[in-house]
Chains A and B, each alone.
Chain A
Amino acid sequence: MNLVIVLIVLIPAMVALLPLPGWLALRRSRQQGVEFRDLAALQAARGVDTVLLDRWGTVTTGELVVSDIDPIEDGNERNLRWFAAALEHAADDHPVARAIARLAGPGRLTGVESFPGRGISGAVDRHPVRVGSPGWLGMEARDGLGKTIGVEVDHRPFGYLTVTDQVRADAALAVARLRAAGIQPILLSDGTALDTEHLAQACGIDKWLLGKDPAHREELVREQRGRGHTVALVARDDGNAAALAAADLAFTDAAPAVDAETGAEAGAEAGPVPHARLVDLDAQRVAHALELARALPGVVARTRIAGLLITGVGALLAGLGRLNLAGAIGCAALGALVVAVVAVWSLERRRLS
């Protein structure tokens, strides 16, 4: 009988030994838009000390925005917006095209033709329009921040549009959070040095790297790891697969591919890199997830201490013969409840802090 009572009062300790905080942290993280593949991925995040933030989607919205509209003739600003945007509605899905198309609604187009790498031509309400690189249009090239696009209407140079990154409003806050957590943020960009430096400054990032092609990006990741850093890469899956695979932890936007026959995640065995899937690549989500991972050991310790204390009190009472079977069950239930409450409270306290 006494043995049964002792076993019962040990239940809170057993509960405390379960990975309850980890499960709760995974759930909490999922609610915040970051789905770690498993507990191991969450635990791997604890050691991250360097985060490479890809330009697209992390500190920017992943979209470009037209930052300057410069017609050649004064007073043609609205016309410039209209003709360029109307034509770009028919362009291939591309950030530059999307940014320009947002300037105005669609129009009546005819004879639209795309010239990859150069631009697009067509007729808007029967007016011949070309939008593309200034060199292609025979217009003077312009240096400066952002990407400059030339616009030609009725076979005449009509004006310039400049598109730049759309920086997230809370990008600097996210960077500050990472830095406060002892994590070094590094901006990884496929843009020009000038644009990248400007973006980094806008977000409060000290260090930035240029990596235009996938192989170069992978190399940059390995280089950081080679310096002894534990590196997390936050980037779109598209075009960054190799670099993501080279990181210690991959934050990306793509759902793992599912094998049609087995139902298992393709490459689950082959790809040992821990990863998390984000609803978007917002740096705030990444900062939150990493903070959570870093707080997890404390939560586990507090939970276990609580479990052991409750169990110790129960064992003492049982040893003194002060507990009958009903009392032992009540003590175990109360202990398990306290363990759970401590785990949740610890996570919540981290969040509130």
Chain B
Amino acid sequence: MPDAAMQMDSSETARLVLPSVRRRLPRIAQQVTEEIRTTVPGFADSDHRQQLVSTAVNSAAAYFLGSALGEPVSSMASDDLFRKMGFREGGLGADLSSLDSAVRVAAGTYWAEIRVEAARLGVSPYALEDLRDALDVYVDHLLAQARQGHVAGSAAREQDSGLARRRLVDGLLAGADPDDIVAYAEVALWPLPPLLVVAAVELPGGARLDPSVLPSSVLCRTASGRAALITSEDVMTDAIATVRSQLPAARFAVCWPVEARDAPAAYRWTQRALALASKGILPARPVLDCRAYRTEIWLHAEPVMRRQLAQELLQPLLEETPNSREILSETLLVWLETRDSAPAIAARLGVHPQTVRYRWRRINQLFGEALHDPEYVVQLTLVLKASIALWVAGDQSDFERYSGRVQ
């Protein structure tokens, strides 16, 4: 924002006229939006575009009024909005004429309101000249921001379309601003579905996925030995089949459908699922459905808390051998989850019912009355669900560390 221009507006006229204009800003904003919609070609049939320009223009108006009244306001937000609009227009291959017209329509509407208010207050039109100059300077400044964004958007468009898709993937996985995501998606000509499915891919031997084998509806970010896929739920299955036909040893972790804003979290979950599978905590299946392992993915996000809970709640198992801990824990977890009879639990575990009765007797000897405490049972269930696979995979550090500490 040109400070020199605004310094002139810190005048008696501004303080007299502008506060009442600002009070009516919401109504004027509606009027501006309507004016733009009806008079500027290209904004009539695009709600999203119209909404963007209205937001930007009204944000800029609020800044202009505040600045003219000498208040400490920042122009960064409105400048950024105009750059984004310019980037979007450039990315779509449009020129800035529509945006330019819209800004000028808006400026004209606001100025008319200022003039009406000045007349009502008996302020001479000549006294408004400095304010008028400041507004013109500010409009030029905003259009310059838009041009700056337009240059970047046009450049992006002229480059390889893969880059636009890459920017979109990066934006989705990094949690970029939703408006940016929409703009990126439009530039990349990728229809943004209401719900996305994110998959993390582990590729054998540092292999690299060839994105060209995938349909255009699948966004792909690939690196040596790994990749990320984003698409809609109905396309993901085919996308995985395509990648597996190219790289049969590839391993996938597929998240359940999420909104675009949750894509970074979904990507994190899928990466964690792959990491857990590589440690043997989750089964080494070619395609891991994260929905089936939510508890494990959740609790392993806090490994220290999981370990501390395990050490605290499973103290009765400390004296048992690793083998005994494992089988007693498995049986206890199945009982906590199902509350079934011994034959039913035996069938689930693939053992004899008398073995289950023996284990249950041992469990009761070890845990005693604690199993009647609901809070203990809830925590125990979660810890066992997250930890048993860890122990089965050979990681006994939960108990080693604990025994070292108590000694």
Query: Which of A75, A78, A154, A155 is B354 in contact with, Cβ under 8 Å?
Result: A78
Query: 7 closest pairs, A vs B, by CB?
Result: A125-B351, A82-B354, A125-B355, A79-B358, A107-B352, A126-B327, A154-B324
**Interface status of B294 (Cβ within 8 A of chain A):** no
A154 x B321 contact (CB < 8 A):
yes
In contact, A124 and B355 (Cβ under 8 angstroms): yes
Q: List 10 A-B contacts (CB under 8 A).
A: A75-B361, A76-B361, A82-B354, A82-B355, A86-B352, A104-B354, A105-B352, A108-B352, A127-B327, A154-B324
- Of residues 303 through 335 on chain B, the ones whose CB sits less than 8 Å from some CB of chain A are 321, 323-324, 327
Q: Which of A170-210 contact B (CB under 8 A)?
A: none
| Chain B residues touching A, range | 10 to 19
**Assembled-state Cα–Cα distance A89/B351 (Å):** 16
Cα separation A353 to B354 with both chains bound (whole Å):
53
* B321, B327, B351, B352: residue with the most chain A Cβ atoms closer than 10 Å: B352
Q: Is A128 an interface residue (CB 8 A)?
A: yes
Interface centre among A79, A105, A125 (most CB of B within 10 A): A125
Q: Are B321 and A108 closer than 8 Å at their CB atoms?
A: no
Q: Are A82 and B327 in contact (CB under 8 A)?
A: no
Determine the distance from Cα of A125 to Cα of B351 in the docked complex, in whole angstroms.
6
What residue in chain A is nearest B330 (Cβ atoms)?
A126
Contact B358 A82 (CB under 8 A): yes
CA distance A114 to B358 in the complex (A): 25
Residues of B near A107 (CB, < 8 A) are 351-352, 355
Q: List residues of chain B with CB under 8 Å of any chain A CB.
A: 321, 323-324, 327, 350-352, 354-355, 357-358, 361-362
Tell me if B354 and A108 are in contact (CB < 8 A): no
Note all chain B residues with C-beta closer than 8 A to A154: 321, 324, 362
CA of A123 to CA of B352 in the docked complex: distance in angstroms? 13
Contact B357–A125 (Cβ < 8 Å): no
A153 to B324 Cα, complex, angstroms: 11
CB within 8 Å for A127 and B355 given contacts A79-B361, A108-B350: yes
Residues on A with beta carbons closer than 8 Å to the beta carbon of B351: 107-108, 125-126
Bound-state Cα–Cα, A75 to B355, Å: 14
**What A residues does B327 contact at CB under 8 A?**
125-127
Given contacts A107-B352, A108-B350, A125-B352, contact A155 B358 (CB under 8 A): no
Nearest B residue to A81 via CB reads: B354
Q: Give bound CA distance, A75 to B364, whole Å.
A: 13
Q: Is the CB of A82 within 8 A of B352?
A: yes
Chain A residues with CB under 8 A of B321: 154-155
Mark A104-121 against chain B: 1 for CB-CB distance below 8 A, else 0. 110110000000000000
Encode A142-168 as 1/0 by CB contact (under 8 A) with B: 000000000001110000000000000
- Which residues of B sit under 8 angstroms from A75, Cβ to Cβ? 361
Residues facing B in A24-82 (CB within 8 A) are 75-76, 78-79, 82
Closest to B354 in A: A82
Q: B358 — nearest CB in chain A belongs to which residue? A: A79
CB neighbours of A124 from chain B (8 A) = 352, 355
Q: Are the C-beta atoms of A79 and B354 separated by less than 8 Å?
A: yes
Q: How far does the alpha carbon of A78 sit from the alpha carbon of B357 in the complex, in Å? A: 9
Looking across the interface, which residue of chain A has its beta carbon closest to that of B350?
Answer: A108
Q: How far is the CA of A321 from the CA of B79 in the complex (A)?
A: 159
Residues on B with beta carbons closer than 8 Å to the beta carbon of A155: 321
Bound: A86/B351 CA distance, A: 12
Given known contacts A76-B358, A124-B352, what 19 new A-B pairs fall within 8 Å (CB)? A78-B354, A79-B357, A79-B358, A79-B361, A82-B354, A82-B358, A104-B354, A105-B352, A108-B350, A124-B355, A125-B327, A125-B351, A125-B352, A126-B327, A126-B351, A127-B324, A127-B358, A154-B321, A155-B321
A128 to chain B, nearest CB (A): 7
Q: Tell me whether A128 and B323 are in contact in the complex, defined as CB-CB below 8 angstroms, given that A82-B354, A107-B355, A108-B351 are known contacts.
A: yes
Tell me which residues across on chain B come within 8 A of A108, comparing CB atoms: 350-352
Report how far A126 CA is from B351 CA in the complex, Å: 9
Contacts of A76 in B (CB 8 A): 358, 361
- Chain A residues with CB under 8 A of B361: 75-76, 79
The CA-CA distance from A154 to B354 in the complex, in Å, is 15
Measured CA separation A82–B342 after assembly (Å): 15
In angstroms, Cα B359 to Cα A76, docked, is 11
Q: In the complex, what distance in Å separates the CA atom of A24 from the CA atom of B350?
A: 60
By beta carbon, the residue of chain A nearest B327 is A126
CA distance A128 to B357 in the complex (A): 16
* Chain B nearest CB, measured from A100 CB (Å): 15
In the complex, what distance in Å separates the CA atom of A95 from the CA atom of B216?
Answer: 74
Q: Give Cα A102 to B392, complex, Å.
A: 34
Compute how far the CA of A301 lies from the CA of B352 in the bound complex, rounded to whole angstroms: 67
Cα A76 to Cα B357 in complex, Å, equals 10
Q: In the complex, what's the smallest C-beta–C-beta distance from A86 to chain B, in angstroms?
A: 7
